[in-house]
Amino acid sequence: MGCCNRRCGLIAGAVFGAVVAILGGILIPVGKSVIEGTVEKEVVIEPGTQAYENWVSTGVIVYRQFWLLDVQNAQEVLQGGAIPVVVEKGPYTYRTRYLPKENITFNPNHTVSFTLPQGAIFEPSMSVGTEEDKVTSLNLGVAGAYSLVPKPLHAVLENLIKASSSSLFQNRTVGEMLWGYYDPLLKDNIGLFSPYNGTYDGIYNVFDGKDDISKVGFIDRWRGESVLQFWGDKYCDMINGTDASSFPPFLDKKPLYFFSSDICRSVSAGFEQSMDLKGIEVYRYVLQPNTLASPTVNPDNQCFCRNEVTTKNCTLAGVLDISSCQAGRPIYISLAHFLGGSQSLLENVKGLNPSEKHHGTYLDVEPTTGFTLRFAKRIQVNMMYGPSKVITVLKKVKEYTIFPLVWMNETASVDDATADMLKKELISRIEMLDIIQKALLGTGVAIFVLCLISYCVVRRNQSKIV
């Protein structure tokens, strides 16, 4: 009778262990479904969700740091055709993206439209000097006119350059170079980022995710168009992905696509590694190596090649001519210090030292929500000048030169309060559910196995007695 009770107890224990283990197994898909449902509800762009609050007004402080390239041998370049030597001067830091989105309108097709006001506030404590610091840089008016005026009219341009006492290089303040000054040659206000304060980016139309969470944040239209009007090619004119501030939830380490109005095109970033950011696991994504590759390496980039002369028959890597979206201004975009560019770019201008660590662009994205928690967008603004037999200040120039003017690091990182909130509201719940699942599954299996072994031992002993 005692042996029977013992065997029955062990069988009951094994059944109980199996039930506990099954419960732990059931909690895995059920818990995952609950988490997914909660996340999908909170990342939709509509009033009342966590995503909406951070979407309307950026929840982190965004800074733009500028390093201007200061020419060290301007007279040698002019008089003897020497290779320009530059030294970076910076950072000069501004707070930006601090204004909330405006004209927010929800549309029947599950998109929301808005404009993004632009502004920059100088941060002296994060800068090496003031906006009144002087730099020697390329003369924007002369370089711009050289690119825009046809060669047969260079004699006219020569007279205008002389009449305005302009030269290939100029001495300006940091504030003037960035935000504008009156140019005597063009007789207009010009600057690398002029106008900026008081202007708007957009109109944007993005999917709100209510009907399809896999499209949340994806750009449907920009400036009223579903494709760009800059490149004259179906591939290059595509508007892909989001604006990089967030992505659809539940990332799977596949490439992410985003559109940047700063460079007038869409790009992609590939998964590099998992990292810890303030106790939160994030996926680091970096620009794909072929983003600015020459068409000889990446044929898809053929439609981005605008000038076969300056790009050496489209074999030049590392620069993007965006004049078609800059009202004709001859602006070339590259990564900082021509990172990933052709060697000739570094040979035509001395003093640059590209480094992936200091000059690469990256995004750190929380994979469950798709929120970008830290990023660094590093791009360089360049202009072109070249040889001329007519224009005096260019007679000594031997090669077409893509000249670096300034490189910018737009960066932000989640603050401690937001990180703690995210960990409390999401990460800790996921971790707790995972612990409960594993505990139930482990405990159940352990009880089941222990009882099963004990049952077998009891039966074996009983058989020996019989």
As a whole number of angstroms, the distance between CA 304 and CA 127 comes to 35
In this prediction, residue 180 has a pLDDT band, given cuts at 50, 70 and 90, of very high
132-136, 337-341, 423-427: range with lowest mean pLDDT:
423-427
Query: 257 in helix, strand or coil?
Result: strand
Least confident of 8-22, 145-159, 199-213, 245-259: 8-22
At residue 264 the predicted structure's pLDDT band, cuts being 50, 70 and 90, is: very high
Rounded Cα distance, 195 and 155, in Å = 31
Q: Write down the pLDDT at residue 328.
A: 81
5 confidence band (pLDDT: 50, 70, 90): low
pLDDT tens digits, residue range 222-236? 999 999 999 999 999
Give, to the nearest 10 degrees, the angle between helix 428-465 and helix 2-43: 160
Check residues 95 and 58 and name the one with the higher pLDDT: 95
Threshold 0.85, pTM exceeds:
yes
**pLDDT > 50? residue 397:** yes
pLDDT value of residue 39:
82
Using pLDDT thresholds of 50, 70 and 90, give the confidence band for residue 448: low
The stretches of 149-204 forming alpha helices (DSSP H) are 154-163, 174-179
Do residues 413 and 373 touch, judged by C-beta distance below 8 A? yes
The pLDDT value given to residue 17? 47
| DSSP letter, residue 100 | P
Dihedral in degrees, nearest 10, Cα atoms 212, 215, 216, 222 = -130
Distances (CA, A) of 52 to 111, 126, 142, 450, 456: 13, 30, 46, 51, 60
Which pLDDT score, from 0 to 100, does residue 427 have? 62
- The 10 Å Cβ neighbour count of residue 329 is 16
Average pLDDT over residues 388-414: 96
Task: Answer yes or no: is pLDDT of 21 > 50.
Answer: no
pLDDT at 198: 93
Q: Of 442, 443, 441, 437, which is closest to residue 28 (Cα–Cα)?
A: 437
Q: How many CA atoms lie within 13 A of 172 on its CB side?
A: 26
Express each pLDDT in 150-160 by its tens digit: 999 999 999 99
The mean pLDDT of 266-293, rounded to a whole number, is 96
Amino acid at 160: L
Using the predicted structure, report yes or no on whether residue 272 has a pLDDT greater than 50: yes
Mean pLDDT over each residue of the chain, to the nearest integer: 89
**Higher local confidence (pLDDT), 32 or 94:** 94
Q: What is the per-residue pLDDT for 423?
A: 78
Percent of the chain whose predicted confidence (pLDDT) is above 90: 75
How many Å separate Cα 289 from the centre of its chain? 14
**Which token pair is 207?**
């999917």
The one-letter amino acid at 64: R
